[in-house]
Structure 1
């Protein structure tokens, strides 16, 4: 994004800042820091609500029992959970571009306000169990708009902060959004505690006034930045880089696991162990909460050690934890099942942070190898451009992992065995692949034969966040 050196930041009538130069230290300390923090606060609120709406059907399906007239199979319920995940993943790339087209404040207001549509539809629909299943699928798909909020929010906040503070800001923005998954499950538990397990509409109804308030707050307190535009050339270049897809593969394993497990966990407990809605809801929020809180830990460890090394050991531990899930599932051990799943949630958070921390390290090495002897300023500009594009692509592709996880659960629990063992075995194989990729590409051989694709070990990471 082009910036100006004029150290003023007064909004015009449409709340568009007239000047913005966060890299100017004097401007940042006097004016920029306060403006950026204000926009970050309301961006976190918008993204948080977006994640909650995105995952609302993971709570709704817990209520949808024969007791209140629903007779959906476990496979149909997993499909309801899977559908918004897919739509949210597909919306992430266009959402990031629409921030640049319409303005960060304007698009945040619009993206928050539109959450009223899937929330209101969900509140109405769950009171009508006679409705055809395909209608439920359409409404669940509309909830996918909440998943797109992450991309637009991250793009917007990235432009507000100077390079030296982007990691902290993006990490806080992403973590606050992730907590929305745990928050909606806590709302579900509260509704069950107060109104019982026959009132799913209240879960969605709670969010209607919240969405209105957050929309108004964003409209009144956020700003549009001058000159913000999408770098299409960087996106096209990122698509041609092999590391974009390798890192996206790793992010499928970390964020895809977080969002997939977060959406499916309650339904897994109901299907695997016959839990009631209240029993499942009392446990479902714990994993996403711990996974969200452990995100910064992955970034912190990657600041002190090689990010690829942290990612490698995280996937190795995830493979071990999944092995325990296979054992627990085959033996019907509830305690081992819960313990292993909790550990997996924590590890997905750590892996989210470490995988995103790998991006600037990898492409800093790539900048050196693609143009030996280039001026440091030229390299730095290329790294900033390409890493921003890769973050957007990896975020979109990674969310598709949640779709695959729910489809695997649907196939496993819909089969003759009726357990999740088959799904867990497929997850174990995928984590094994991620261990292999991380070791071969990023650890065993710091550079490939052409010296162009692998990162320099121990290089400092500069970018955090991700979802």
Structure 2
């Protein structure tokens, strides 16, 4: 089914205050630039809140045992994995909503739904006796924020001409991705003081060996987003419009008959799947490889913890966990204009080659040498820089693949493919969490390296080489 636009100017009055009568961003004479950019900025603001909600569990989970929660390492991995499973499943729903609900209703409702997991986490982190199934349920509900991506991005693509979609989608996704860093950077600071008395009382949080226990208001990590969510929902309802691109669910599924849908899905798994998966697990990897979660480094937990390697300073995961998402989101923003200028396929190729090199480098630091503090420090430095390189190239690939899709597919299909690829790649946190519970980190990274090699071959053969079938 081809996209249908009415013949009347895009600047004509909406039919009912919400749906535009016509909209053709490829026609400069009728394209309402101010409406397009207003849509981008409001939906980007709310998408940032969605990502913060989606990764709230990854910021909270590493410290739950320090707060008195009786949880194993595997249970903590599952808490950070469940939002990925839920986000992927919910993206399969959100990907079909833009033509059905329209931008205004979809963005408003989605933003309001974020209150459910955010308020839930704020209440339950104050009670160490909270059953594990309740925490797991909250992790699943956090997937609402993950699902939003596959609705917001296609919706925004409707408002911009193809020549600008690399920049527009890169800005939205990149700034939205900053929500991951925001929640991980803000959490250790915001929990340090009481915001409003009636939100709850303080609690002691055990510190790594050699450091004093800290009094925290851990509920702040969730409650701080509530007023912004309310503002975002109000702005979306008051200021957004909807583009008259109509297609039912059956019609939207015609994307699956196009082989490029499947090739681009693999490429986006390589890029965003890696970004999302490592963003969720970065803190636990720091803790369990080089921190207090490694029994060869620290014996015991809480106030009874004892350092086994003399002279070693145990890294606090919250001091590093935000860096990876920050680098990845920044790369997505900075490289998006370059994809508009030079094409997406070339940068996807660069991203894939960079991922191969950085994954291989990081894999050499996944088995810590605990014989001395110096060897642990050197290993942690190698691990940290390798991880940041992975995030860098994943961010570049996130920008380039989203430039490719609008160039490969017609407008409505491009929106559907963006939603679908985003849905599948959103399972990254889940598969990374499960993978790290059933095999060693080294084995898991080797599998990731092999997958990156496959994706580089696909990129070169299908999109980047001279005479490629679908240059993009």
TM-score (norm 1): 0.83
- The answer to whether structure 1 residue 433 and structure 2 residue 435 are counterparts is no
2:285 to 268, 276, 293: 268
Q: Distance in 1 between matches of 2:344 and 2:17?
A: 42
Aligned residue number for residue 6 of structure 2? 4
Q: 1:298·1:351 contact (CA, 8 Å) conserved in 2?
A: no
- Secondary structure (helix, strand or coil) at the match of 1:131 reads coil
Listed as ranges, the matches of 1:137-286 within 5 Å are 137-194=136-193, 196=214, 198-225=216-243, 227-230=244-247, 232=249, 235-274=252-291, 279-286=316-323
| Separation in structure 2 between the aligned mates of residue 300 and residue 109 of structure 1, nearest angstrom | 29
Question: What is residue 121 of structure 2 aligned with on the other side?
Answer: 122
Check 1:4–1:82 CA distance in 2 against 1; reply closer, same or farther (3 A cut). Answer: same
Structure 2 Cα separation of the partners of residues 305 and 19 of structure 1: 31
Native 8 Å contact 1:51 1:178 kept in 2: yes
Aligned-pair Cα RMSD in Å: 2.5
Q: What residue in structure 2 maps to residue 291 of structure 1?
A: 328
CA offset digits 1:253-284 (Å, max 9, x no partner): 11000011111111111111125999211211
Q: Could you give the per-residue CA deviations for residues 128-154 of structure 1, whole angstroms, max 9, x where no partner exists? A: 222221221111101101011112212
1:112 aligns with 2:139: no
1:342 Cα deviation from its structure 2 partner: 0.7
Query: Displacement of 1:228 after TM fit?
Result: 3.0
Aligned to 2:420: 393
Corresponding position of 1:373: none
Q: Is the Cα contact below 8 Å between 1:154 and 1:170 reproduced in 2?
A: yes
What is the TM-score normalised by the length of structure 2? 0.82
User: Residue 375 of structure 1 corresponds to which residue in structure 2?
Assistant: none
Whether 2:445 is the aligned partner of 1:424: answer yes
Match of 1:403 among 424, 430, 444: 430
Q: Provide the C-alpha distance between the structure 1 equivalents of 2:272 and 2:318, rounded to a whole number of angstroms.
A: 22
Relative to 1, partners in 2 of residues 1:19 and 1:295: Cα closer, same or farther, differing over 3 Å? same
User: Unaligned regions of 5+ residues in structure 1, if any?
Assistant: 364-382, 413-418, 448-453, 462-467
How much does 1:306 deviate? Answer: 5.7
> How many angstroms does 1:21 deviate by?
4.1
Partner of 1:317: 354
* Alpha-carbon spacing, 1:338–1:15, altered in 2? closer, same or farther (3 Å): same
In 2, Cα distance between equivalents of 1:97 and 1:218? 19
Measure the CA separation in 2 of the matches of 1:144 and 1:137. 11
Q: Spell out, residue by residue over 1:77-120, the C-alpha distance to the aligned partner (whole angstroms, 9 max, x if none).
A: 11111111111112123213223222211121111001001111
Cα gap change, 1:167 to 1:153, in 2 (>3 Å): same
Structure-1 separation of matches of 2:441 and 2:6: 56
Hey, what's the Cα distance between the residues in 2 that align with 1:197 and 1:26? Answer: 60
- Asked if the contact 2:291–2:316 (Cα under 8 Å) also holds between the matched residues in 1, the reply is no
Q: Which runs of 4+ in 1 moved over 6 A?
A: none
Q: How does 1:27-176 map to 2 (within 5 A)?
A: 27-28=30-31, 32-65=32-65, 67-176=66-175
Which of 329, 343, 363 is 2:389 aligned to?
343
Comparing 241-250 and 272-281, the one that deviates more: 272-281
Deviation at 1:178, TM superposition (A): 0.9
| 1:236-260 CA distance string (max 9 Å, x none) | 3321222211211111111000011
Unaligned runs of 5+ in 2: 195-213, 294-313, 370-378
Q: CA deviation at 1:13?
A: 5.9
Note closer, same or farther for the CA distance 1:341–1:103 as it changes in structure 2 (3 Å cut): same
Cα drift, residue 297 of structure 1? 4.2
Cα drift, residue 204 of structure 1: 0.4
Q: Contact 2:155–2:415 (CA<8 Å) still a contact in 1?
A: no
Find the counterpart in structure 2 of residue 378 from structure 1: none
In proportion to residue count, which structure has more helix? Answer: 1
